[in-house]
Structure 1
Amino acid sequence: MESVYWQHRIWPTDNTSAKPAFDTIMPDEIMRAKVEDELRKSNALELLWKRELTGAMLQAEIDRIARDTKKPELIQEIWEALVNNPYLVAECFARPLLIDRLTRNWYAFDSRFHSELKAKAEGELASYSIYNLRSMSGDYSEIHYFLDNNNHSLALKKNTNIDRIYVTEEEFKEIESTLEQSGSLQEDEHQFYITRFKNNRTGQIDVEYMVWKKVPFEQWWQEH
C-alpha cells in the first residue's frame, strides 16, 4: 500500500537526481515505527477519550474516502494492492486514517490539555480593555479586508501577517456575519482568539486579532 502512494508521488522537476526506489525511502524501521504510532494512537483513543473504533465507523470512513477522493485511480490501486479484501481495506487502509484524524480532533478541544492557555486568555481579556489588544501576550495582527470586484480573492485566514486581503462578495458577507462575536473569546482546533472590528464600511472591514496558539498536536504527541 505504501509503495502505491510512493508511485503516485510526483518527483520535483528541479531535482535532477532519479526518483529513489521505494525500498530505499521506506526501510523496515520506518514501517515498524508507523505501525507502532498507529497502535499508540489507538490506545490513546481508548484510554484518554474512551473511544473504540467499530466496524460501522470503519465502513463509514471507507465510504467517505470513496465519495470525497479527488484521486479515484489512486484509491482503486490501493484496494487492488489489498486484493480488494474488505477486511484488509478496513484494517490496513481505513483504520490508520480514522485513528489519526480522531486522535487529532479529540486532542484539539480537550480542556485537560488547553485549560491553562484558555485561563490565561480569559484572564487577559478581563484585565485589559478590548480596545487594548496589543497589550495582551498572544500574537497580534490587524487586517484590512476589501471587497474585490475583480474576483482576485486570496484565501481568508485568521492570524495572517498580511495586512490587506481582497475577498469575494461571499467571503465579505461571511466576515460580516461574525461581527456579533467581536470581543468575545473564541476557540478553534488550533488556537484561542479574540477579534475586534474597528471599522465596517462599504467595501471594507478592518479587524484586529489576538491569538493564543495551542501546542500543535505533533509536538504534544512527541512529548507524550
Structure 2
Amino acid sequence: MTRTGAELHELAEVRVRELMTVAMRADPTGIGAALEDLAARGLVDGHTAAFLRRARRLTLAGAAALSAAVGTHRYRADADGTQRCLSCGTAEPCRTLRRTAEALTAYLGAQPYGIDRAEAWRRAETWLTRGGALRVAVVVEEFAEGYIARPIPYGQGEHERVVVVDRRTGGLTLWPVLPENVLAEQYRRYKLGLHLGLDPGSTPA
C-alpha cells in the first residue's frame, strides 16, 4: 500500500510517541533492582547490563531527536489544497519521512500499539484534575477511533465538555457533551479533516 506524505508523517509521529510513552512508563529504580538480581545470579553479562541500565535514557533521547525531525517534515495544504512537506516543499513523501517511517516499521512492526482503556482513563483523569482542579470521577466509553472520557464531578459544578482520547496517538481533544454515536461520527470526520490538512475546529486538551 502506497502512503501519502501526510499519512507517513502520522505513522512516524505515532511510532515516535509510542517510543516516548514506553520509556517514560519504565521505572528506573525497578530496572536497577532487576539488573542487580540478574547479575547476582549470573544471568546477565556486563555489556548487556550496561545497555539495559541506559536503555530508558537512550530511548528517550532517540525519541526526542526523531520527534524534532518528524515535526520539521510535517505536511500542510498549500493554497491550491496540495499537501506539501513544510521543510522540503515536495508533494510526494519526502525522503526524510519515508526513511524514518521505513526504519521504525522495520524494527517496531507495521501497526502501532496504540493505547488501551486503562491508559485512556489515566490520561483523561490527569488532565481533568490538573492544577488542583476539583476531583472528578471519570467514566470511559470505547469507540472505533478512541475513548470518550466523561467526568462526573464530586460536589457542586458541572463539566460542560468531554475528553476524547485518540486510540492510536493518545492525543486529547475537548468536545461538547453529545450522545456516543454522534460524537464518534464527529470525531471520525475530525480525523479525516486532519488527513486532508483542514482545520476541523476542535479544541486540543
Verify same fold: TM over 0.5: no
Structure index of larger Rg: 1
* TM score, norm. by length of structure 2: 0.28
